[in-house]
Each structure stands twice: as C-alpha cells, then as structure tokens.
Amino acid sequence: MTTMMFVQAVSAMLAIAAQAPSEPPAATRRPNLQVLTTVPESQLFLMMNAIADSLGVRCDYCHVRPSPDPTKTWYFAGGWAWDRDDKPPKGVAREMMRMVMDINTRQFGGRMVVTCYTCHRGAVAADRLPPLPPREYPTGTEPSAPALPSTDQVWNAYVRAVAEPARGFSTTVLTATDDRNEGRRGTLEVVFKGTDRVRFTSRMPPDAPASQTVNGENGWVASGTGSRALRPEEISRVRRAALRYRPIKLDRPANLRIVGVERVGNRDAYAAVVEVDARTKTMWFFDVETGLLLRERTTTETALVPLQEQIDYDDYRRVDGVMLPFVMRVSDGAPFDTSIRAFTSIKHDVDVDDSTFEIPARPPAFGAAQDALSEPLSRSISKRESARRARTPSAVR
C-alpha cells in the first residue's frame, strides 16, 4: 500500500481546504487545463469526481484510457491519458464549467450557489419539468418550528452519553476491518498511549503495510517505499484525525452553533455548525434522543463545486462503561474512496510497549527524493490515485 493511499485510513476527515499558500495551481503541471487553471493540484481530482458523481458517470465519459492494467480492478487499472481531447463530452464539460462559473460570478457575487448537481441531479440530461401528477401541498397552517436547545445543552448531552471517565484511559487499542470499493478488504489498527502518542497501521493486500506515528512533538510515516519524518503541520493534522477514534470525537469549537434538526438515517439529529474559515464549514449531527454523534461533514468551497467529506458513526456499544461506535463509514465524491470500518476489538488500559511509538533512528528528511511519501496527509485520495496511476505531466479537462 502506498503512503498516499494510506491517508484514507489514517486521516479520514481532514478538511480539504486550508491548502498551503505556496501550493502551485494544477495548470503548472497540466498544460492542457483550459478552465480550472487556478485550482490547486490537491483539489483537482476531487472536483472531477464531484462533477462525475453529479452527472452519474465515470471518468471514461470524458477521458480516454489507452493502456489500463488488465490485472487491476476498474478504478485502479490506471493507464489514463488525461490531456487528450478525443471525446466530445470533454468539450461540452468545459463549456458547462464556464457556464456555472459565469452564473455564480454574475448572479451571486462569486459565491458557489449553482453547481453541476443543481440541474443534473445524477443524470447526464438535466430535467426541465417537474414530474406529473403534481405533488400534494398542505392547505392548513404549517406548524411552527420547535425551539432548539442551546449549544451547551447539546454538547453536555453528548459528553454525558459517551460517559468517558474523567481520568481517561492509559492506553487504547482499536482494530477494524476496512472494506472498500471493488472488493478490496484490509485492516486498520489504531493504538493510543497517554495523550500524546498514537500509531495507525493499515494493511490493504496486496500492498505492503503502512504506518503513521506521532510521539510527542515528533512523527513519522512509513510504507513499503520507505519512511520519513512528519512536518510540524502534518503532526497537528494527525492529532486532529486521531480524535475520530477517541471517545469524545471533537474538540468543541468556540463558535459552534445549533442550527436545526435534520434526519440522519432513521434518526433525528441536532445539526451543529462551525465556520472553520471563509471557505470551509464543518457540521456535526447529534442524536436528539441519545445525544451521541451520528455524523460529521466538512464542506469546502472551491472555484467550481463545493467538496464534501463525511464520516458516519453507527452501531454504538458500551465498552468499559463508554459508548463507542463500532462502525465508521467514510466517504467523499470518489467511488473508490468509500470505506466502511467495522471494529472487531476495542480494548482499554492494556499493555502497550513504548517501542510501538519509537521514531526510526534517522528517518529521511522531507525532500524531493521522497516522492512516494511526499504527501502523507494529502486531503484528496483522488489526488493520490492520480499520482499513483498517472505520473505524467498530463492534463484534466
């Protein structure tokens, strides 16, 4: 398993935005980009997958694939020639992108209000008319919306429902199966010790195991291609991602607001929102009855289409007095990105040797030579797939 692919198992729901200011646009590597010229490389393939999902198509609707690997499954066979313009739908897609961007610029001050999905709703041909017969409209007085609880009430109910002991646990070891698209199945192990040590180990045959560790102020990432030290900002991201595997799964933001009640599966949930920055919003959904966290969703505005990442928590069980989800579903706009992690074991206060978190004596420093490990915390598995499947200066639309 490449380190870039390992991020899906480790980082889960890192925000897509907050790109490094120095990140160059994808067009610097992809000279045939004609519309999305200012989009950073780390967002490009996520945007492509969001567009494809909006139309209910796959990559080959617009792109050609002259040399796929016949031994691999469809999404991982590679062999794409992204820069070629052989297919007419690719030209149409460019025009549609320009239209969407123009509408949002002219009518909505640049806010991303209209997207591909606004009209297409999962179909290539956009519907013009509502279905017949027309829907039934209520004739009576609409009931007033119920009063919402305060943020403090929702948060305190969540903390009470989880019931994490004040002292916490000295160690925690979680193991899970990891089921993904096209029949791929592996395992994920997460090990905590104290408050400042965590190690993730992912195994997805036939790839080699990959691991990512934070030990105090240091961290490293390793796979079959080698290892390297984590940069300080990457260590911070690993710590944020690790929260999803602790009993209380988020640090309460100061600007958290309760904005309504929404349906999550067959449950009513209080929707809480926080504006991370001007482009990024995260929502948490707390079960109205139990108080437990059901869903987390991050939405990032881009030049063309909002990007979403979501994690659903399900099958809560009590372990050592604490309520923990035994199923986590992670998804974004890419079909091959979806992961279902079913925990087979969650143990607290077990013996964990300190050597589990040891940093290699002299991990390679970050640099160009570490290409396979260059972005262990990239926010886009789509980008990781593009690097894995098409390491050429080709172009996408």
Tell me the whole-structure pTM to 2 decimals.
0.82
The structural domains of the chain, ordered by start, are 3-8+10-128+376-389 (1.10.468.10), 149-368 (2.50.20.10)
Let me know: does 222 contact 211? Beta carbons within 8 Å: yes
Per-residue tokens: 267? 């449950």
**DSSP run (H or E) holding 295:** strand 293-300
Residue 365 pLDDT: 53
Contacts of residue 317, Cβ cutoff 8 Å, sequence gap at least 6? 323, 324, 326
Q: What is the pLDDT along the chain (397 residues), one digit of tens a residue?
A: 344 444 333 333 333 333 444 578 999 999 999 999 999 988 899 999 999 999 999 999 999 999 999 998 898 899 999 999 999 999 999 999 999 999 999 999 988 899 999 999 999 999 889 999 998 888 888 778 779 999 999 999 999 999 999 889 999 999 999 999 888 899 999 999 999 999 999 999 888 899 999 999 999 999 878 889 999 989 998 998 999 999 999 999 999 999 999 999 999 999 999 999 888 999 999 999 999 999 999 999 988 889 999 999 999 999 999 999 999 999 987 877 789 999 999 999 999 999 999 876 655 554 433 333 433 333 333 334 333 433 333 333 4
pLDDT (0 to 100) of residue 286:
98
CA distances from 332 to 113, 179, 196, 228, 372 (A): 19, 15, 29, 28, 23
